[in-house]
Amino acid sequence: MDKTLIEKYLNDSCNEQELDLVLSWLTESADSADGKDILYRIWEELPENGTDIKIDFDAILNKIHHEVNVNQTKLLMKKSEDGLIKYNRRQYVIRTLRNVAAVLLFPVLGLGLFYYVKYYSARSAQVNVSHAYNEVFSSVDAITKVTLPDGSSVWLNHSSSLRYPAVFTGKYRSVELKGEGYFEVARNSKSSFIVHSGELQVLAYGTSFNVMAYPDENKIETSLITGNVELRKSLPGGKTTTLCKMNPADHTIFYSGNGEVITKTISDDRYFSWKDGKLIFTAEPLDEVVRKLSRWFNVDIIIKDPELKDLTLTATFVHETLPQVMELLCRVSPVRYSISNREEKNDGTFTRRKVILTCRK
């Protein structure tokens, strides 16, 4: 028997003559050593990748039962002509054919069951991976770059963290930011990118932007460099409301206390130059300068004299130490400073250094 003919039978592509040959072989030779060898080779040559196998088990079973019944009907019609001996012989053939059908069907069913278990085990593993999350923390004195599963890049400022799934699935690519991050989002028109930061959601597709959302601040600032983003506010019940849509060079401040939104146009990179190791201040109030310097150098800077808060500063710092920054501040404004040493606490850790700013009179 030709192996190709058996395969045609299993694929339901035999013509009438080929079907007679196969049925004859099944009844007479399939149970022999050579027949079993052919069936075994067909079994071994089935592809191992279950995702490419489409087996209609019901169709195979119905096909075998149908052919058995057809042959049985023919035999019954000839019973009167061939006599009881021939009839009993045909009954033996039918039983043999049914046995052979079972031999053929059980391996196929076994293969299907094997791939069913294998497929759903793989699916279960994939589901577990899709629900896994990574979280990256940037230390108090470092800038950390992260590459996301979709190829997007994120820079994390000092004392910031980013939580994101191991695999992006579904309609959205969602991440959670605490602190400050600069995003260069890989373009994907079918899956929008969402940054969750407190009450605010920043939605983008292929865009570069900066988000500052430190938990100890009462505001969230977003600066758009390229592309377009939409700012949304989270509402109870998982709903959102659109606050505004930003264009390149827009800088938007969302105040979490009263929900106020202020947008202005910027012409420099002062709000995201930190990712390149630079701090840029342009006529910025001293209390804002102090807040950023405190985070940058991991110190507590305290303005002791309230009148100093009315001062503004324009400067660019690159690689300067804390004392160097303080010395420059004293040169351009009526400020004096003192820096305290770290003190050891009861648990063995040390306090942050303190910088006291006073008015020079």
Q: Evaluate whether 321 touches 293 at the Cβ level (below 8 Å).
A: no
CATH 2.60.40.10 is the classification of domain 132-268:
no
CA–CA distances in Å: residue 282 to residues 107, 267, 346: 77, 11, 42
Residue 300: count other Cβ atoms within 10 Å of its Cβ: 14
Strands (E) located in the chain = 133-138, 144-147, 153-156, 160-165, 172-184, 192-197, 200-204, 208-213, 219-226, 229-234, 240-246, 250-255, 261-265, 278-285, 300-303, 312-318, 335-339, 354-359
Where in the chain is CATH 3.55.50.30? 277-361
What secondary structure letter does DSSP report for 274? G
The CATH T-level fold of domain 277-361 is Phage tail protein beta-alpha-beta fold (3.55.50)
**Phi and psi of 288, rounded to 5°?**
-70, -40
Indicate yes or no: pTM above 0.95. Answer: no
Region of 259 on the Ramachandran plot (φ > 0 left; ψ -120 to 50 alpha; else beta): left
Render each residue's pLDDT in the chain as its tens digit; 361 residues.
666 776 677 666 777 777 777 767 666 665 566 666 666 566 555 554 444 444 454 555 555 555 555 555 555 455 544 544 444 554 554 555 555 555 555 454 454 544 554 555 555 545 454 568 999 999 988 999 999 999 999 999 999 999 999 999 888 999 999 999 999 999 998 899 999 999 999 999 889 999 999 999 999 999 999 999 999 998 888 889 999 999 999 999 999 888 899 999 998 899 999 999 999 999 999 999 999 999 999 999 999 999 998 899 999 999 899 999 999 999 999 999 999 988 888 888 888 899 999 998 7
Every domain of the chain with CATH number 2.60.120.1440 lies at: 132-268
Encoded tokens for 247: 């264009």
Contact 37, 69 (CB under 8 A): no
